[in-house]
Each structure stands twice: as C-alpha cells, then as structure tokens.
Amino acid sequence: MTNLSVMMNWYAPVEDMVEKECVDCGDLFSVPVQNAGRKERCDSCAVIHDAQRHKIEHDPEIDLVKAVISSALKDHDRDFIQNKGIQLWLRSVGIGVTPSMNKRIESMVR
C-alpha cells in the first residue's frame, strides 16, 4: 500500500517542468514531468486536434432535407406544409414523424 506522504505529494504544486516539441506545429512548450509521456501537442494544437477528432460529419441527404424545409418555412409555403411535405421529406431520410411532431408542424400553418 502507498504511504500517505506519497499520496499527498500528488496534490503538491508541480515545479518540475520539461520542454517538449509539439508534433503538429513543432513549437516548444512546457509540460509537467508527470504528463511528459502523455502530452504531445501544445495547448493550441491540442484544441484543434480535439475539435477535428470530435467533428460530426453530416449526411448530404439530411442537409438537403434541412434546406428544403427551411426554405419552405422562410417562404411561408402553406401548400408545402399543409400537404404534409415536411413529413414526407423527414420520412425520406428515415426520421419517423410522431403525432406530437405532426401537431407542431400543423401549428406552423395557422
């Protein structure tokens, strides 16, 4: 079992820093000794890398449906909305339309 002094030392302020080179931009950055083996990017490159890694790609079909529905709503196309055009486009990309969604769509016409 680990001594209490070793466990409490984990929370001690870190003073030992190491200079590392960023794998993306090549700039030098300081990192604590405890994280030297894990951190390989500077803070700005790490933010960009995380954003690219978690980026959600959109299907072009869904983007098209969104554009058609947005255009109909912007143009106040009552025929499109009343004749269940929104529901048809949503179903074409696999989105099931519930009764509560139907009520909400029908309230847009009024």
Residues 8 and 44 in one domain: yes
Expressed as residue numbers, the domain containing 90 is 60-107
Domain count of the fold of the chain? 2
Highest mean pLDDT among 5-9, 34-38, 52-56: 34-38
Q: What is the pTM of this model?
A: 0.45
Q: Which two tokens stand for residue 5?
A: 């002094």
Residues 32 and 72 in one domain: no
Quick: pLDDT tens for 15-49.
688 899 989 888 898 888 888 888 899 888 888 88
DSSP 41: S
Q: Which two tokens stand for residue 15?
A: 């003073």
Residues 14 and 49 in one domain: yes
Residue 73 — φ and ψ, nearest 5°?
A: -70, -40
Q: Which two tokens stand for residue 63?
A: 């983007």
Bridge partners (DSSP) listed for residue 28: 21
